[in-house]
Amino acid sequence: MATPLFEVRDLHASAGDVPILKGVDLTIMAGEVHALMGPNGAGKSTLANALMGSPEITITQGSIHFRGDDITSWGADVRGKAGVFLAFQYPQEIPGVSVINFLRQALSARKGIDLSVLELRLSIMEWMKRLGLDSSFADRYLNEGFSGGEKKRNEILQMLVLEPALALLDETDSGLDIDALKVVAQGVNTLRAPDRAIVLVTHYQRLLDHIRPDRVHVLARGRILRSGGPELALELEARGYDWLLAGETA
């Protein structure tokens, strides 16, 4: 039996002193795309940050495994070097650090590749073009003065350059218009490969119209209440979450 690329076992986690996750189990095989859905405040972003190793999240029970290794105690930097990537829901501004220099440092840490600024600029030009980013974008300070769409496209650019084994995308579709959504989705689909996996945290079917998931999970009340195929997302679009929550209470 193949070893899962990523596996979460009975994960309990808190943000500060507030328990958020209360027993999450999730198995992701290489080559798969998973969509994580659920009502506001369900803990989707908390789960994404816990999987990335955010110091703001405290794991109180359970474990996280990557390629068969228990990485529960690994820091975010170690997980990043190993091939785990998180595209943030709210990317932070880093004044004084240009996009190109940030990418250069990240690529060096992730793959040990020490390209010059010019070499890196030449290597990412095609990706920037595909993402609808002007060539001058690389010299702007990271996320400073960026529109919401530019921030999300920049996250996808980072993902494409770093080529992670597991990409966690936390509401990458939020705030995007139809055209920008299509561009971002194309970038995500480019990363799909038999040796990689993607987890999409989203509220909306519209993203899944462009990125077809293999599995869909509903997170609510701190754990995954239902899992299924792409048809589950369509059912949620039509019926909302109340029917699932009512069934859980009954």
Domains and CATH numbers, the chain: 6-92+165-249 (3.40.50.300)
C-alpha span between 85 and 156 (Å, rounded):
10
CB 200 within 8 A of CB 170: no
* Token duo for residue 236: 């949620």
Sole residue written with tokens 């808190």: 14
Classify burial at 28, counting beta carbons within 10 Å of its beta carbon; exposed 0-12, middle 13-18, buried 19 or more: buried
C-alpha span between 27 and 129 (Å, rounded):
35
Look up the pTM and report it. 0.92
CA atoms within 13 A on the CB side of 105: 7
109: three-class secondary structure by DSSP = helix
The alpha carbons of the chain give a radius of gyration, in whole angstroms, of 18
C-alpha span between 117 and 125 (Å, rounded):
12
C-alpha span between 96 and 61 (Å, rounded):
39
106: three-class secondary structure by DSSP = helix
Crossing angle between the packed helical segments 99-111 and 117-130, to the nearest 10 degrees: 100
C-alpha span between 82 and 66 (Å, rounded):
9
Write out the chain's pLDDT in tens, 250 residues. 789 999 999 999 999 899 999 999 999 999 999 999 999 888 999 999 999 999 999 999 999 999 999 999 999 999 999 999 999 888 888 999 999 999 999 999 888 888 898 999 999 999 999 999 998 999 999 999 998 889 999 999 999 999 999 999 999 888 888 998 999 999 999 999 999 999 999 988 899 999 999 999 999 999 999 999 999 999 999 998 988 888 665 4
237-244 contact pairs (CB < 8 A, 24+) = 237/204, 237/205, 241/38, 241/39, 244/218, 244/220
Q: What is the pLDDT of residue 243?
A: 85
Q: What is the pLDDT of residue 250?
A: 42
Q: What is the helix (H) or strand (E) element at residue 36, kind and residue range? A: strand 33-37
C-alpha span between 76 and 70 (Å, rounded):
14
The answer for residues whose C-beta is within 8 angstroms of residue 148's C-beta and 6 or more apart is 174, 175, 176
* Token duo for residue 216: 């869909």
Q: What is the helix (H) or strand (E) element at residue 243, kind and residue range? A: helix 242-249
Q: For residue 218, list its beta bridge partners.
A: 37, 226
